[in-house]
Amino acid sequence: MLYLIGLGLSDETDITVKGLETVKKCSRVYLEAYTSILLVDKPVLEKYYGREVIIADREMVESASDEILRDAQNVDVAFLVVGDPFGATTHTDLVLRARELSIPISSIPNASIMSAIGATGLQLYNFGQTVSMVFFTESWKPASFYDRIRENRSIGLHTLVLLDIKVKEQSLENMARGRKIYEPPRYMTVGQCAEQMLEIEGLKKEVGEGGVYNEESLAVGAARVGGKSERFVSGTLKQLCEADEVLGGPLHSMVLLGRRTHELESDYVREFAVDKELWDRIWKRDYEGKQ
């Protein structure tokens, strides 16, 4: 059997009882370690699980899945995923490959950022499409997320923005030269995300396609959701550009408020506001009564 097991969002204790029992009986245990991270290191997981954990990076999952699936018709293999196996990131390629090999599959769900973001006080059924924000470069500033945010805002819904992480990434030069040298890990912050969003808004305005949001659009920054050091901060996009000190280390996420935000949602989120008086003014001007 191939087991896809969700680990939750924080530390080694977030795995479910069913998940832990399954890990303990598996012959091999792989940890998917490129779409997200836990807030503890591999040795902590190994001690808690009582099993060796094999790190499965992007290269292994995408190009060497045969090793993960090796002999899984006859032995139990665990593939551990931070959050939920079919939450923010789905591993359908691995599942389809297992099916081709007639390997039985079972998944064990857990909390993901898609559900845990409700800790902000925003109601989950008021969320629209989730989007991802990647690190910009001088020559590459993808804006595909913009139209999906436009669609969400057109019907008044919140937008959850998942922020980029770079783990075991190669520079273009090292990649071109075939050198297995990797860059240090990078984790996008709410401040970087807000800055990039405003940069894209400016570029869209220049070609007459802007107006989806602006510096005074209300948003919520979240850090280490579900962990002991969980933090939230709310304010305008301009304010969130300077919010990283309050939020602290990775992992970060961000939510753009929809205009159908309920008063109870606003009251809850207001408690995290950088400037409560400014929050109240913008809420009354742009959001109140728009449900």
Residues annotated in a binding site for S-adenosyl-L-methionine = 9, 84, 87, 112-113, 163, 225, 252
Nearest to 256 by CA among 134, 136, 116, 148: 148
How many angstroms separate the Cα of 112 from the Cα of each of 37, 56, 228?
12, 19, 16
Element (H, E) at 31: strand 28-32
Annotated binding-site ranges: 9, 84, 87, 112-113, 163, 225, 252
Pairwise CA distance, residues 223 & 219, whole Å: 14
Surface-to-core class of residue 160, CB atoms within 10 Å of its CB (0-12 exposed, 13-18 middle, 19+ buried): buried
Surface-to-core class of residue 115, CB atoms within 10 Å of its CB (0-12 exposed, 13-18 middle, 19+ buried): middle
What is the DSSP track for 176-237? HTT----PPPEE--HHHHHHHHHHHHHHHHHTT---S--TT-EEEEEESTTSTT-EEEEEEH
Residue 202 main-chain phi, psi, to 5 deg: -60, -45
Pairwise CA distance, residues 82 & 10, whole Å: 9
